[in-house]
Structure 1
Amino acid sequence: MKRRMAWLSAFAMAALLVGCKAEQEIARGKPVAEIAAITFDGTLVKLEHFRGKVVLLNFWSGGCGPCIAEMPALDAVYRANRDRGSGFTVLALNMGEPDAAVQRAAARLGVSFPVLLDGLKITTDRYQVVGAPTSFLIDGEGRLIEKIVGPVDIAGLEAKLAGLL
């Protein structure tokens, strides 16, 4: 219970820091909205922490077969590119499932990129994500390169990264 209250407090703080207003759909080349997400230990994560790096913000759910199926391939792309050029990261943002369920799924998947919680669906709503998986490829300046609805085309992602890193 104490951990749950700390988790909710962190999300409330995140909401205050980045606002809760409705966002317009993000257009290619335009800045993306800030995220309101936390790690399993309650640390607030913001996109500005990754400024200068290319980011794949991946919205997923533990009950989504395509989400789970693409994770190992995303992890391979992450490991191959995280230290190239300006850097690359994947942020796997779970879409509102209980933190214990997300931790179990993350442990089963064994991915090396950050798995984040969006228990109140603040970021999910802000990015207008309707279904999982949905991903946003973001450049080092925080602008949208591409919105990907459905599983990520790994070969296409690698080709794009080759031109960005």
Structure 2
Amino acid sequence: MLHSALLYTALLFGANAAFAGPVDWQAAKDAGLVKLVPAETPAPVSDIAFTDPEGGTHALADYEGKVVLLNFWATWCAPCREEMPSLDALQAEMGGEDFTVVPIATGRNAPDRIDKFYAETGLKNLPVLLDPRQQLARAMGVVGLPVTVLIDRNGNEVARLLGEADWTGEPAKAVIRQLLD
């Protein structure tokens, strides 16, 4: 119990602008984000385009200057169904000029299935973005779902998490605050 309290305290102080520094990845893992893997060397993300249901074209470069939590998901993915509400809540709480959640439905996800998925899981704060031929997912080395990639303000991948996570928990929010500092 004391160990957990110390870790949360370290995460909170590490996220405070007065104590700004590099992200404490180990503290985040110790506090609950056990599957979070920091990049050995931050590297630029792919420039492959993705779309929205109206046919608009987007790229990760569109988000340069923001910290991005990029999530690859699919309507048929049970762990995605569990995770997406926490991503929606994270966007509602922290999304804005400096941070955004970018969920991309990769593979075959019919528009009516996506609408049903959003309705059933109560998603209200996330855009619908698509990678129907999995071109972006393949370019980014996504081999299973869900996969979440943390991208810094310069468009570099700084960490990745395979599988679902609670993005509303203090460890996740602390990492994001540290990236924002």
Q: Same fold (TM over 0.5)?
A: yes
Q: Deviations over 1:29-66 (max 9, x none)?
A: 11111242101111001111111111111011111111
* Structure (1 or 2) with the greater strand fraction: 2
Gaps of 5+ in 1: 1-25
Aligned partner of 2:120 in structure 1 is: 108
Between the two structures, name the one with larger relative contact order (CA 8 Å, sep ≥ 6): 2
Alignment of 1:130-149 (within 5 A): 130-149=143-162
Cα distance between partner residues in 2 of 1:163 and 1:148: 17
Q: What's the CA shift for 1:153?
A: 4.2
Q: Alpha carbons of 1:152 and 1:28: their partners in 2 closer, same or farther (altered >3 Å)?
A: farther
Q: For the Cα contact (< 8 Å) 2:74–2:109, is it kept in 1?
A: no
How far the C-alpha of 1:88 sits from its partner, in A, is 1.0
Q: Pick from 90, 96, 116: which aligns with 2:101?
A: 90
**AA matched with 2:102:** L
Q: Which residue of 2 aligns with 1:157?
A: 172
Matches within 5 A, 1:54-133: 54-83=67-96, 87-100=98-111, 101-109=113-121, 110-133=123-146
Structure 2 partner of 1:22: none
Structure 1 contact 28–146 (Cα < 8 Å) conserved: no
Letter in 1 for 2:106: M
Are 2:56 and 1:36 aligned?
no
Cα offset, 1:94, TM superposition:
0.9
Deviation at 1:122, TM superposition (A): 0.6
What letter is aligned with 1:98?
A: N
Distance 1:27 1:46, change over 3 A: farther
Q: How many residues align?
A: 138
| Percent identity of equivalent pairs | 34
2:108 and 2:133 in contact (8 A); partners too: no
Question: How far 1:111 sits from its partner (Å)?
Answer: 3.2
CA RMSD after TM alignment: 1.8
Using the alignment, how far apart are the partners of 2:165 and 2:115 within structure 1? Answer: 23
Larger radius of gyration: 2
Classify 1:27/1:117 alpha carbon distance in 2 versus 1 (closer, same or farther; 3 Å).
farther
CA contact (8 A) 1:61 1:132 kept: yes
Deviation (angstroms), 1:74: 1.0
